[in-house]
Amino acid sequence: MAGTVERKLSELGVSLPTPATPVANYIPFVRVGALLFVSGQICLDASGKPVAKGKLGAGVSPDEGQKAARACAINVLAQVKAAVGDLDRVTRVVRLGGFINSDPAFLEGPKVMNGASDLMVAVFGDKGRHARTTVGVAVLPGDAAVEVDGIFEIA
Amino acid sequence: MAGTVERKLSELGVSLPTPATPVANYIPFVRVGALLFVSGQICLDASGKPVAKGKLGAGVSPDEGQKAARACAINVLAQVKAAVGDLDRVTRVVRLGGFINSDPAFLEGPKVMNGASDLMVAVFGDKGRHARTTVGVAVLPGDAAVEVDGIFEIA
Amino acid sequence: MAGTVERKLSELGVSLPTPATPVANYIPFVRVGALLFVSGQICLDASGKPVAKGKLGAGVSPDEGQKAARACAINVLAQVKAAVGDLDRVTRVVRLGGFINSDPAFLEGPKVMNGASDLMVAVFGDKGRHARTTVGVAVLPGDAAVEVDGIFEIA
């Protein structure tokens, strides 16, 4: 039986992908005490293809960027579920880090990152309101348009 | 009655601004246990205008950047005060993240970021000494010259 | 007598340098509870010279970048040792942040960052598996090719 949070995801038409397992000596999450640290997730869709590739302000539109940030957030949630089994065990989305693959003249990073923030609140309600840092970076792995990492509090 | 830390701010001629509230689904801070996570703050002055706009190494001087980093730190402290009521409850400035809006050839990010670090120690004394990571990013929200986020330990 | 982790470092031919002390109001590490936050370390070798300077994708090769990331990881470990005395007290490498000084077209950041991740696992075994976020930044302090920061769990 799906918990409250996963029913909410379902209502939003979001199915969590099988989370990506890095082919490397790092892993997708580490829990220490009540804190779960989730590795940076790029904007791959459920089939593993990038939702948007390239730079905001140079080929990728803010709207596409927002969808990319939402895809990152979905991948972050897939890792949280893999870590704790049931998303209802999340007592707080603590912090999201938003990295926007940006042309040096692109100023709308926060708008792009709202694609991730909005999903957290749509899914978790007030527990989904988080601290956030958004910056425009020179480039991201595989030329992904957006990368998001997270810290969660777990019951 | 102002506490010790706020008297120190006063002596330094710093008045904390009314902290910015994001118009979005993220919030300026989240506390979990003894840790307070503060969202990235850009270099706005008390009237909400950027202290410095543009890139270090391409229009913004290191001295202007240092003032911008100090303004970010003031905004971070305004959020800490909003979160815990009295800055004397801070037992440690744990970590600052410094993001410098940089021309790819600008190498003096740490010098710029000292504008934030120096304020923390001026205000908190030894409790203000913090871990820090400074990087030069491609661009920042609204073309702010500097963005700073923080983690604080609260009694 | 060296502990298990330091014997492992020795076997790998790694001797920890005297850790760099910042000439500033920030410090190399702060511990709060079980968490140790280590400041961003650039890719200096034991003599204090950069292992690689400049940008990946514009002068620095992925192989050189990987060596630079390894050097950063060694410097992070030197700080952990300075903080806790014995690396055997590390119960978990929680998270590494990897900042790659990148040409905007360089897509292989994760490969570069493996130089740091691989060392952690070589030294700590399964306790060395960590969460990780890797991004390509515009520039780094002193034009270092790589900067790495970390969070460790301490017994």
pLDDT at position A64 is 98
Q: Tell me the two tokens of residue A6.
A: 């996963």
C73 near C22, Cβ under 8 Å?
A: no
C39–chain B Cβ distance below 8 A for any pair:
yes
DSSP-derived pairing of the beta strands B55-56 and A55-56: unpaired
Q: Tell me the two tokens of residue A97.
A: 């880090």
pLDDT at position C1 is 56
* Domains of chain C listed by start with CATH number: 4-14+35-148 (3.30.1330.40)
pLDDT at position C36 is 98
Label residue B59 left, alpha or beta by phi (over 0 means left) and psi (-120 to 50 means alpha): left
The CA R_g of chain B, rounded to the nearest whole Å, is: 15
Range B113-124 average pLDDT: 97
A2–chain B Cβ distance below 8 A for any pair:
no
CB contact under 8 A, A104 and B26: no
How far, CA to CA in Å, does A3 sit from each of A80, A96, A122? Answer: 14, 23, 15
pTM of the complete model: 0.97
Q: Give B21-70 pLDDT, tens digit per residue.
A: 887 899 999 999 999 999 999 999 999 999 999 999 999 999 999 999 99
Residue to mutate among B26, B53, B72, B79, with most A CBs inside 10 A, is B26
Residues of chain A with pLDDT under 70: 1
Q: Give the least confident one: B80-89, C22-31, C86-95.
A: C22-31
CB contact under 8 A, A139 and C92: no
How far, CA to CA in Å, does C73 sit from each of A18, A134, C16, C86? Answer: 31, 25, 10, 16
pLDDT at position A2 is 72
Q: For residue C95, list chain A residues with Cβ-Cβ distance below 8 A.
A: 30, 37, 39
Considering chain A, what percentage of its residues have pLDDT values greater than 70? 99
A43 near C145, Cβ under 8 Å?
A: no
C105–chain A Cβ distance below 8 A for any pair:
yes
Q: CA-to-CA distance for A118 and A67, rounded, in angstroms?
A: 11
Q: Which residues contact A11 (CB under 8 A, 6 or more apart)?
A: none
Residue B58 three-state SS:
strand
Band of residue C34 on the pLDDT scale cut at 50, 70, 90: very high
CB contact under 8 A, C28 and B131: yes
Q: Tell me how close the Cα of C48 comes to any Cα of chain B, in angstroms.
A: 17
Is residue C105 pLDDT above 60, yes or no? yes
CB contact under 8 A, B131 and C24: no
A135–chain B Cβ distance below 8 A for any pair:
yes
pLDDT at position B1 is 57
Q: Which of A26, A29, A140 is nearest residue C136 as measured by Cβ atoms?
A: A140
Considering chain B, what percentage of its residues have pLDDT values greater than 70? 99
Query: Residue B37: enclosing H or E segment and its boundaries?
Result: strand B35-42
pLDDT at position A137 is 98
Q: Tell me how close the Cα of B142 comes to any Cα of chain A, in angstroms.
A: 5
pLDDT at position C23 is 75
Q: Nearest Cα to B38, choosing from B90, B111, B102? A: B90
Q: Where are the alpha helices (DSSP H) in chain C?
A: 4-11, 62-84, 109-124
